[in-house]
Chains A and B, each alone.
Chain A
């Protein structure tokens, strides 16, 4: 909307020509100028300039909707609001599953099952709506070359043996998972920009990027000067593009992240924590019972990235082979923990336990 040319904002032809002589062609350029600059550049009086501002603002301001209209729209299409993870306890706590229209992040130390989770979600997205899926294609952007088609077929066959009873069904499922291997930050960004047309043409219902952290941490060394801001810029641009796609098409976006150890001394680390749930060393069963003085383990990619994702799930080791999945950030769910193992059919929830981090009051005062 910002790049909308002024011509389309219903300004008169000669005014547009005059403005383009000063290199002002889009709404963004127009709105960034102060009133006095605008008077000079358009040659109009104060009152007229204010009217022009209103016109240009009307051209690029968003439409108003009441919360009631939004609710009605959601109610009409209840199944399209979430993608069920087929893990019953997790779905209940998240009010349905991975939410559509926002970014969900899976973080964990290596080997806990991020890629397995992503492959499982790919299978789920291709299922018909009656079985809890979204009946659509999946775009899988793989930066670590960890995707295994054999595992995809194995999970599908073992998790839903009744549905995938013929080779034909398995074949059509694998046809709807589009895999892209991108190995640099630039190519990942370019791929994200090209996704809009692909989503429409291929009827995509799920975007997975596995993993964001590996490609970013390879290219940006934050100890070098200037790299921190460049990295934040890249992440922020990627996040806003993905948010736009997620909201525009009402589809879930799943991203995976790594963990990092923040070594420092003293209380300074406290300030950097996003939330206690994020501090992996605080949770029960952290491997080796890591002490707090040596450092703390949190999700990588920094603070700004944490602001951009809407839901964060953390996977961790518990007692091998059991692992735990924790809801660390969600606008609808309290902090909860579930235990699972990884089997042939993907994730299997072990003990349906919910531990809250804060005291939750369930009665109105």
Chain B
């Protein structure tokens, strides 16, 4: 109630008039009433009423926030967080080595970024995740839906059909092996048609459409509350050309990152972004680094880098708050994203070359 008038979310011109007229706290504004307000400041009675309603709503929500209403507050103890995290599911990738490295799979409520050279398999993994998020709970999945925002035009429906068919077949094999009631019942609804119907596809051609779509995403997710995965395939593409004003680009990207973090938290969804690689010309050599600059590196919580080593595709966990950095091989098969047979999590001793600026984590003596 003692809130300063300058901090109220009113129109700037109106705020300026209130301050000029001598109002200091929200309480004073509320006490004056609409007619008095309109006379003092020189605005119409309707405008005064509108302003009063805004102020009243602000003070009311302030009060509920300080009273600690459950659900609206964003603070909790670490123990509650631990319980939440342990109960949370992961989105598996069907490559067990990659799942192990990630600590179970792609985490919900976090932003995961996949960087890699063209053709290495980023879109393949995104399509695989869009199918895997829909696996029914009895098979170890999340039974969720997926939003796929495509900026590069690399989404191929035929490929998703192949991946989905392989996934359904895999679940059928498990159901036959276990012969349980709920498995068979879940299989009835888990079909190719239902998987495809629950992937919501948006094609954004430039950064304006991408910005517009991310603004509308919270409403969309409230309507479709089962969405557990948001994929933006190609966050770099619309921002990499025709941008003379780099500071504008940084500001827009930071804004996007903030909105995506809020979306991930509020709707308990995983956000997966794919990024391109760009060549950084150094003094003596040039290296491939993730595009979009240094500051973008802070946006994602988990960062995976896909790269080649001779003829083998490798995935390196480059940044993670809870897992150790490691590199594992993977394959793209006609059925999707898979392990190398036999599956093995190899600790690549030269993996540290990828992170020249990070301190080496010492192996723990156990």
Specify which of A304, A310, A360 is in contact with B334 (CB 8 Å cutoff): A360
Q: Are A272 and B288 in contact (CB under 8 A)?
A: yes
User: Considering only CB atoms, which chain A residue lies closest to B173 in the complex?
Assistant: A364
Q: Is A76 an interface residue (CB 8 A)?
A: no
Known A45-B11, A236-B240; judge A332-B158 contact (CB<8 A): yes
Q: Are A74 and B211 in contact (CB under 8 A)?
A: no
Give the chain B neighbours of A47 by CB distance below 8 A.
Answer: 9, 54
Q: Are B118 and A307 in contact (CB under 8 A)?
A: yes
Give the chain B neighbours of A66 by CB distance below 8 A.
Answer: 196-201
Q: Are A328 and B341 in contact (CB under 8 A)?
A: no
Q: Are B331 and A331 in contact (CB under 8 A)?
A: no
Q: Are B308 and A273 in contact (CB under 8 A)?
A: yes
Q: Are A275 and B169 in contact (CB under 8 A)?
A: no
Q: Is B99 an interface residue (CB 8 A)?
A: no
Q: Are A58 and B216 in contact (CB under 8 A)?
A: yes
Q: Are A2 and B208 in contact (CB under 8 A)?
A: yes
Known A275-B120, A304-B276, A365-B339; judge A62-B213 contact (CB<8 A): yes
User: Considering only CB atoms, which chain A residue lies closest to B208 in the complex?
Assistant: A2
Q: Are B278 and A304 in contact (CB under 8 A)?
A: yes
Give the chain A neighbours of B199 by CB distance below 8 A.
Answer: 66-68
From 206 to 242 in chain A, residues with beta carbon under 8 angstroms from any chain B beta carbon are: 232-233, 236-237, 240
User: Considering only CB atoms, which chain A residue lies closest to B194 in the complex?
Assistant: A68
Q: Are A32 and B242 in contact (CB under 8 A)?
A: no
Could you mark each residue 179-218 of chain B with 1 if its beta carbon is under 8 Å from any beta carbon of chain A, else 0? 0000000000000010111111111111111011101100
Q: Are A328 and B255 in contact (CB under 8 A)?
A: no
Q: Is A361 an interface residue (CB 8 A)?
A: yes
Q: When chains A and B are docked, how far (Å) is the Cα of A360 from the Cα of B159?
A: 16
Known A43-B13, A276-B308; judge A332-B156 contact (CB<8 A): yes
Q: Are B252 and A32 in contact (CB under 8 A)?
A: yes
Could you mark each residue 5-49 of chain B with 1 if its beta carbon is under 8 Å from any beta carbon of chain A, else 0? 000011111100000000000000000000000000000000000
Q: Are A60 and B212 in contact (CB under 8 A)?
A: yes
Known A232-B241, A303-B117, A358-B311; judge A57-B170 contact (CB<8 A): no
- Residue with the highest number of chain B CB atoms closer than 10 Å, among A63, A273, A303: A303
Q: Are A45 and B54 in contact (CB under 8 A)?
A: yes
Q: Is A291 an interface residue (CB 8 A)?
A: no
Q: Is A162 an interface residue (CB 8 A)?
A: no
Q: Are A276 and B310 in contact (CB under 8 A)?
A: yes
User: Considering only CB atoms, which chain A residue lies closest to B330 in the complex?
Assistant: A358
Give the chain A neighbours of B255 by CB distance below 8 A.
Answer: 34
Q: Are A273 and B209 in contact (CB under 8 A)?
A: no
Interface size bracket, A side = 35 or more
Q: Is B119 an interface residue (CB 8 A)?
A: yes
Q: When chains A and B are docked, how far (Å) is the Cα of A328 from the Cα of B120?
A: 11
From 145 to 185 in chain B, residues with beta carbon under 8 angstroms from any chain A beta carbon are: 148, 152-154, 156-161, 166, 169-170, 173
Give the chain A neighbours of B287 by CB distance below 8 A.
Answer: 268, 271
Q: How far is the CB of A249 from chain B (nearest CB, A)?
A: 13
Q: Is B355 an interface residue (CB 8 A)?
A: no
Q: How far is the CB of A41 from chain B (nearest CB, A)?
A: 9
Give the chain B neighbours of A334 by CB distance below 8 A.
Answer: 332, 334
Q: Are B197 and A68 in contact (CB under 8 A)?
A: yes
Q: Is B338 an interface residue (CB 8 A)?
A: yes
Q: Are A101 and B204 in contact (CB under 8 A)?
A: no
Q: When chains A and B are docked, how far (Å) is the Cα of A60 from the Cα of B169?
A: 40
From 149 to 191 in chain A, residues with beta carbon under 8 angstroms from any chain B beta carbon are: none
Q: When chains A and B are docked, how far (Å) is the Cα of A302 from the Cα of B219?
A: 40
Known A61-B216, A303-B278, A360-B333; judge A275-B161 contact (CB<8 A): no
Q: Is B123 an interface residue (CB 8 A)?
A: yes
Q: Is B3 an interface residue (CB 8 A)?
A: no
Q: How far is the CB of B332 from chain A (nearest CB, A)?
A: 8
From 324 to 366 in chain B, residues with beta carbon under 8 angstroms from any chain A beta carbon are: 331-335, 338-341
User: Considering only CB atoms, which chain A residue lies closest to B199 in the complex?
Assistant: A67
Q: Is A126 an interface residue (CB 8 A)?
A: no
Q: Is A71 an interface residue (CB 8 A)?
A: yes
Specify which of A56, A67, A357 is in contact with B160 (CB 8 Å cutoff): A67
Q: When chains A and B are docked, how far (Å) is the Cα of A247 from the Cα of B198?
A: 23
Q: Are A57 and B119 in contact (CB under 8 A)?
A: no
From 340 to 365 in chain A, residues with beta carbon under 8 angstroms from any chain B beta carbon are: 357-362, 364-365
Q: Are B276 and A307 in contact (CB under 8 A)?
A: yes
Q: Is A27 an interface residue (CB 8 A)?
A: yes
Known A40-B12, A43-B12, A62-B213; judge A71-B308 contact (CB<8 A): no
Q: Are A364 and B196 in contact (CB under 8 A)?
A: no
Q: Are B216 and A54 in contact (CB under 8 A)?
A: yes
Q: Is A1 an interface residue (CB 8 A)?
A: yes
Specify which of B160, B205, B338 is in contact with A365 (CB 8 Å cutoff): B338
Q: Are A53 and B11 in contact (CB under 8 A)?
A: no
- Residue with the highest number of chain A CB atoms closer than 10 Å, among B159, B284, B311: B311
Q: Is B251 an interface residue (CB 8 A)?
A: yes
Q: Are A60 and B12 in contact (CB under 8 A)?
A: no
Q: Is A65 an interface residue (CB 8 A)?
A: yes
| Given A67-B130, A95-B158, A359-B340, 14 extra CB contacts under 8 A | A31-B208, A58-B216, A61-B216, A64-B200, A101-B153, A275-B117, A303-B276, A303-B279, A306-B119, A307-B276, A332-B159, A357-B311, A364-B173, A365-B339
Which residues of B are at the interface with A, using a C-beta cutoff of 8 A? 9-14, 51, 54, 117-120, 123-124, 130, 148, 152-154, 156-161, 166, 169-170, 173, 193, 195-209, 211-213, 215-216, 219-220, 237, 240-242, 248, 251-252, 255, 276-279, 284-288, 308, 310-313, 331-335, 338-341
Name 7 A/B residue pairs within 8 A (Cβ), A-sorted.
A47-B9, A63-B202, A243-B153, A268-B286, A271-B286, A308-B152, A310-B153
